[in-house]
């Protein structure tokens, strides 16, 4: 089964929250605790995600009394593949795919060696085409959203 890590999922949530801005602007600086409170993602996890996103160039940090985080570029210029690569590393379906981590134990005998690259490239291409702006637009309108913390409390 192909599944993104929870950290990648949280990174998308955090990036979309940064785009909403604390006061409606994409350039608004937000703090890790503020993002955690607004999204329902635990603050240590938000801090970990923000660190990775900053190192990957998707988020800019600002130090000081009015410090925090903001998007380094608009959501329209951030593909889902960018987020995956920053948080989880290169997109690779198998160990033998170009850019995949580790080696394969049966590489010398493999009948499909190199053929996974076609599938991997197709998936990578599709993920390159989907931006966070599109993900945001496909979400529930703000007027109908229930804050995550309230939804979690209601589910208990």
d(CA 123, CA 141): 28
* Residue among 135, 154, 142 at smallest CA distance from 76: 135
- Indicate whether 51 belongs to any domain: yes
Banded pLDDT at 41 (limits 50, 70, 90): very high
- Indicate whether 57 belongs to any domain: yes
Q: What is the CATH number of the domain that holds 52?
A: 1.10.10.10
Is the pLDDT at 149 greater than 60, yes or no? no
Averaged over 146-150, what is the pLDDT?
48
Is the pLDDT at 143 greater than 60, yes or no? no
Using CA of residue 35, residue 36, residue 40, residue 46, what is the dihedral sign? positive
pTM: 0.78
pLDDT of residue 36: 96
Which range in 84-93, 97-106, 109-118 is most confidently predicted, on average pLDDT? 84-93
- Indicate whether 95 belongs to any domain: no
- Indicate whether 54 belongs to any domain: yes
Range of 135's domain?
A: 6-90+131-147
């Amino acid at each position: 089964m192909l599944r993104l890590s929870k950290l990648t999922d949280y990174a998308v949530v955090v990036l979309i929250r940064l785009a909403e801005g604390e006061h409606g602007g994409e350039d608004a600086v937000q703090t890790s605790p503020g993002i955690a409170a607004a999204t329902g993602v635990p603050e240590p996890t938000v801090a970990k995600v923000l660190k990775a996103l900053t190192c990957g160039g998707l988020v800019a940090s600002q130090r000081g009394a009015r410090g925090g985080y903001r998007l380094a570029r608009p959501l329209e210029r951030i593909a889902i593949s960018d987020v995956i690569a920053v948080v989880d590393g290169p997109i690779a379906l198998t160990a033998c795919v170009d850019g995949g981590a580790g080696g394969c134990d049966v590489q010398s005998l493999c009948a499909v060696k190199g053929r996974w690259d076609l599938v991997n490239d197709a998936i990578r291409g599709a993920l390159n085409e989907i931006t966070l702006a599109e993900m945001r637009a496909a979400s529930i309108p703000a007027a109908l959203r229930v804050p995550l913390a309230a939804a979690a409390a209601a589910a208990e």
